[in-house]
Chain A
Amino acid sequence: MPDDLKAYYEGDLVFNGINAITGEYGQPPLSSEKLARLIRGAPLPRDYRDFVDRQKKLADLAQVEDRLQPVTDAQSDLRIRLEEARLSELRFKAQNPTPWPTIPGAGDPADVANVGWGAIFPAEMHPNVREEIKEALQPLFELRRERAGDLFRIYEGGSAYRSGEQKGQYYERLGVGPGLADPREMPFYILLVGTPEEIPYSFQYQLDVMRAVGRLDFGSDIEAYQDYAWSVVAAESGDIVLPRQVAFFAPTNRGDKATQLSAQILVQPLYENLTVAAPDFDIALDRDWDVPAPFMGEGQATHDQLQRLLGGDSAQTPALLFTASHGIEFPPNHRAQLQQQGALLCQDWPGPGSDVLRNHYFAAEDVDTSADLTGMMAFFFACYGAGTPQLDQFASQAFKVREKIAPRSFTAALPQQLLKQGALAVIGHVERAWGYSFISPQGRGENQSFITAMRTLMNGHPIGMATDSSFDMRYAELSSDLSADLEELKWNPSYLSDYELAYRWTANNDARSYIVIGDPAARLPIAEREPAPILETEVRQEVPATLVLKAAPESVFLPAAVLTAVPTAVLSDHAAIEYGLEDQFEKLKASLKSFTAQLATSLGNVAEDIVTLEIRTYSTADIAAVAAALDSRQEVSATLRALTRIAFDGDLQVYVPEKTDRGVDPALWSIHKAMVEEAQESRANFLGTMANLAARLLDSLRIGP
């Protein structure tokens, strides 16, 4: 037994979930010895007594009836069979390591065109509701269909998921083989549409082993489906370009071992890793990212700060947010459970044993309703951060009882709310997050899955790939090993220490239950690699900060006599005279000449200006005042944020302010670059059209009778 690991596991183990009613740990602290007993399914009578007493206490608090039911033999047999089937696939995955669990020859799994995309609806969803949701999701379906072609599928009607079905049964019914994903049989990217009551979490975990799976569950809120589909389409249209900025949020509540460990051993090393573009043995980041220091601990990881990060202050809202905190839990049937379970407990909470006040945790209703989260993604390391199953898996294993921890399985409200307001996806945990899992047996941070997931996302790959190569792969390996360990322990009780068993079990549980809320093929809409070279300087010192509006050249008002310089046709006006329209004819003729002259003048001026193309980006606290000042010809001011000057010979000069308090805003910088591309294309088109038009008009004016 490594001493380092023992150091972490000696004493009582605490877990990442706080009961909002009691202010105590959702799962009471356990010694490693006791946890090992429960993992083995061999509790002592006093363990069971403690467990029942606690359930009764919680039941009293929530005013619910005793919710413990014994597990029947039939249920136990079914569970064992399912577990065996699941382990068989996990072993396959662990023993056949491939970069991606798709068949050889499928091509790059990042591209839906190679590996397909599908959506599974539950059979028990009312057909009218399904049709409404399908209609709402139509833009997303069209986007994926266009790319995936024949590998696009909608599973509904006879191919819908049927209640109670396990993955193996479902595959069998559809003629899908086990093992590596063959997109011809079923796409690699699968979106489950419905509640976890309609398509259970267990099915999602199983499907996720060999495929990239996400879930959309907005209940009966059809408009939310529509908004979400639109967000994905907008993000992939290229119009939404988020600044490459990541943020970390990590409370360290006083006297709380769980958050102190997650901050020090998970978040801090993860942050440090991501500040290096290409560390040895890690995925290299192919773009530069702004990775500021984490919001951690006192005065940093507060409720207000999290609100700012989640759209309350657009300048602070990152493309990718990682949080590690306690998730809030409630007794079953508590009126706040469905809306607030999984909400993130912030630094504001004084610590274990203290009352949990409403402003101590961040729930769905705390997201600013006007927050624009389009394109962002988040990763919540917290108990119940993604959802809650109806039954407690831990009690089932430890005490052979089915404990209801919720009236029904449900998706956490906070990720749903983020998706409603434009976020593309959230990775979170279903049930408890077992925080000790990120400490290796050698006592080091075991963060590789987190690092891989984050780096994959930051390189602009689909979120389904980010979880597959990290948590799903880890889960496969851990599950495979753990099943062998538990089997060996039946015959050789000293095979593993209690500490090691506790580690392996918590790590396995932790890896299993990460899920994606959102389209698994969604990717961060981040800017491509920077064009070089970039000159960084203090813009206000280097370039004139004056907005120059081109005045109309005087030539436009030239009298008709000057226009005679333009070769004109000698016209035979008899036809117009015959119509009695000679005045109008003359006016039109003069107008056309004047227009042609203006065109020529403008082209001439453009020829002078064509040496450079300039795009300036300003910001102001009051744009209405700027508009009013422009109207009234008064001088106004705004802050110059960026300037790009492109010379005719291709030289590019980019000026951005140094990073001061009023320095470059990542969002503005991204949009500035997008505007530069737009301006280049627009100028080329506009000049071409003007030149073509001028040539045609001059032809008209030159031709005589």
Chain B
Amino acid sequence: MTASRFTLTGLRPLEGMSAVPGEDLLGIWELTGPQVAAFAATAENMVPAEGAAAISLPPGAAEPGLIWRVELPASRREARSELEARLIAEKVRQAYLKAAEKRLSDLQLGLAYSAKTAGAESALLAEVMALRGSAVTYGAGDTGAISLLHLYEQCEALVARFRRLVQYYARVETSVGGQPVALTIVDWSGDHNVIWQEGIGPLDMALHMDSVRLVLATRQAWLRLISVVASGALSLSVKASVPGGQFLLFPAVYRFVRDVLAELDQVQANQEAPG
């Protein structure tokens, strides 16, 4: 039985940047390095069918876009379950993002060290206090500084990733049991080009539809993530009167959102745990 795999290639950092961390905050996609041909064939083998229309790349297309590959098991039931689980996960993460946004807007600076304040809020408020000069400052080599350095790198990579997200079309490839089913290219204006393998049935078509749906939902969620972080950093910088704080706080707010997602995940996992 073929295992399922959801991979995304093409989000490698631009030249000179640090490596993009492999994690997908939505927990759905495995970010891989250089792209590998999923549909194993060579263009040389392709003989144009009679009456076929040319599909050609326009000159000047500088580099390939993002390739989202959904490799599903041969059992259609399992394939469907896998896809549904990820579609649900994406929806859950959207809800978590909303919760994080609300917690950000509810944040009160005066409660920085209150016992009532959750861990993520405490950490974020500590950062704010530090930026206002009212808390500890870190010297080079301190643990805090190293942590912040890492965070800055992550944020920078994240932003680079998102830039590519809105820069390039998305190419979605679905295979079931190792057999290619379809390939869809969605550009950022929403135009769809769908290429189906001849002879596939309605069930496999529906699976590919779900793959496309998952990709588009992920793209949405990622944009929403950066939107939450950017606006959170801005509003917090105003509240804290930190000049230029919207940039300084960007990494801290990103970490806050990441922590909230992890915290809600943990709550969910505890609820689902037996006994």
- Does residue A185 face the partner (Cβ distance < 8 Å to B)? no
One digit per residue, 1 when the CB lies within 8 angstroms of any chain B CB and 0 when it does not, for chain A 658-681 equals: 000010000110111011001100
- Does residue B239 face the partner (Cβ distance < 8 Å to A)? no
Q: How large is the interface on A (under 10, 10 to 19, 20 to 34, 35 or more residues)?
A: 35 or more
Contacts of B64 in A (CB 8 A): 630-631
Cβ A618 vs Cβ B202 within 8 A: no
A625 to B160, CA, bound (A): 31
Contacts of B54 in A (CB 8 A): 545-546, 635-637
Interface residues of B in 37-58 (CB under 8 A from A): 37-43, 45-46, 48-58
- Does residue A64 face the partner (Cβ distance < 8 Å to B)? no
One digit per residue, 1 when the CB lies within 8 angstroms of any chain B CB and 0 when it does not, for chain A 204-218 equals: 000000000000000
Interface-forming stretch among B24-32, B116-124, B147-155, B257-265? B147-155
- Does residue A336 face the partner (Cβ distance < 8 Å to B)? no
Cβ A693 vs Cβ B234 within 8 A: no
A556 to B250, CA, bound (A): 22
Interface residues of A in 232-290 (CB under 8 A from B): 234, 239-242
- Name which residue of chain A comes closest to B200, CB basis: A314
Cβ A240 vs Cβ B41 within 8 A: no
Cβ B246 vs Cβ A703 within 8 A: yes
- Does residue A599 face the partner (Cβ distance < 8 Å to B)? yes
Cβ B49 vs Cβ A550 within 8 A: no
Known: A314-B199, A591-B156, A602-B188. A675 touches B248 (CB 8 A): no
- Name which residue of chain B comes closest to A698, CB basis: B230
Contacts of A622 in B (CB 8 A): 41, 45-46, 197
Known: A602-B166, A639-B52. A689 touches B220 (CB 8 A): yes
Interface-forming stretch among B104-112, B133-141, B266-274? B133-141
Interface residue from A239, A372, A689 paired with B227 (Cβ < 8 Å)? A689
- Does residue A614 face the partner (Cβ distance < 8 Å to B)? yes
Interface residue from B185, B224, B247 paired with A571 (Cβ < 8 Å)? B247
Known: A609-B189, A639-B51, A667-B205. A623 touches B224 (CB 8 A): no
Q: How large is the interface on B (under 10, 10 to 19, 20 to 34, 35 or more residues)?
A: 35 or more
Contacts of A546 in B (CB 8 A): 53-56
Known: A609-B189, A615-B192. A627 touches B38 (CB 8 A): yes
- Does residue A359 face the partner (Cβ distance < 8 Å to B)? no
Cβ B201 vs Cβ A685 within 8 A: no
Cβ A638 vs Cβ B53 within 8 A: yes
Interface residue from B57, B149, B181, B246 paired with A584 (Cβ < 8 Å)? B149
A696 to B188, CA, bound (A): 19
Known: A549-B57, A584-B156. A605 touches B189 (CB 8 A): yes
Contacts of B244 in A (CB 8 A): 569, 571-573, 575, 705
Shortest Cβ distance from B114 into chain A, in angstroms?
24
Cβ A705 vs Cβ B145 within 8 A: no
Interface of B is mostly: mixed
A311 to B209, CA, bound (A): 20
Cβ A576 vs Cβ B201 within 8 A: no
A628 to B62, CA, bound (A): 17
Cβ B185 vs Cβ A580 within 8 A: no
One digit per residue, 1 when the CB lies within 8 angstroms of any chain A CB and 0 when it does not, for chain B 212-249 equals: 11001001100110110011011001100011101110
Known: A569-B244, A595-B163, A613-B190. A552 touches B168 (CB 8 A): yes
- Does residue A302 face the partner (Cβ distance < 8 Å to B)? no
- Does residue B275 face the partner (Cβ distance < 8 Å to A)? no
Contacts of A547 in B (CB 8 A): 55-56, 185, 193, 195
- Does residue A690 face the partner (Cβ distance < 8 Å to B)? yes
Contacts of B188 in A (CB 8 A): 550, 602, 605-606, 686
Contacts of B213 in A (CB 8 A): 678
Cβ B199 vs Cβ A315 within 8 A: yes
Contacts of B6 in A (CB 8 A): none
One digit per residue, 1 when the CB lies within 8 angstroms of any chain B CB and 0 when it does not, for chain A 292-321 equals: 000000000000000000010111010000
A591 to B226, CA, bound (A): 13
Contacts of B192 in A (CB 8 A): 614-616, 675, 678-679
- Name which residue of chain A comes closest to B138, CB basis: A579
Interface residues of A in 561-614 (CB under 8 A from B): 569, 571-573, 575-576, 578-581, 584-585, 587-589, 591-592, 594-595, 598-599, 602, 605-606, 609-610, 613-614
Interface residues of B in 148-205 (CB under 8 A from A): 148-149, 152-153, 155-156, 159-160, 162-163, 166-169, 171, 173, 180-183, 185-205
- Does residue B72 face the partner (Cβ distance < 8 Å to A)? no
Contacts of B231 in A (CB 8 A): 696, 699-700
One digit per residue, 1 when the CB lies within 8 angstroms of any chain B CB and 0 when it does not, for chain A 531-568 equals: 00000000010000111111111001000000000000
A366 to B270, CA, bound (A): 49
- Which among B173, B213, B226, B230 has the highest number of chain A CB atoms within 10 Å? B230
Contacts of B209 in A (CB 8 A): 239, 671, 674-675, 678
Contacts of A591 in B (CB 8 A): 155-156, 159-160, 163
Shortest Cβ distance from A688 into chain B, in angstroms?
9
Interface residues of A in 176-229 (CB under 8 A from B): 226-227
One digit per residue, 1 when the CB lies within 8 angstroms of any chain A CB and 0 when it does not, for chain B 65-76 equals: 100000000001
Shortest Cβ distance from A247 into chain B, in angstroms?
15
- Name which residue of chain A comes closest to B207, CB basis: A239
- Does residue A76 face the partner (Cβ distance < 8 Å to B)? no
Known: A372-B204, A620-B198, A686-B220. A595 touches B57 (CB 8 A): no
- Does residue A169 face the partner (Cβ distance < 8 Å to B)? no
**With A240-B203, A675-B212 already in contact, 5 other A-B pairs whose C-beta atoms are closer than 8 Å:** A550-B187, A595-B160, A622-B45, A625-B41, A678-B212
A-B pairs with lowest CB-CB distance, top 3: A545-B53, A372-B201, A683-B190
Of the A-B pairs whose beta carbons lie under 8 Å apart in the complex, a sample of 17, sorted by A's number, is: A311-B201, A546-B55, A546-B56, A549-B65, A595-B160, A616-B192, A618-B194, A620-B52, A620-B195, A622-B41, A627-B38, A628-B37, A635-B55, A637-B49, A668-B196, A675-B209, A685-B220
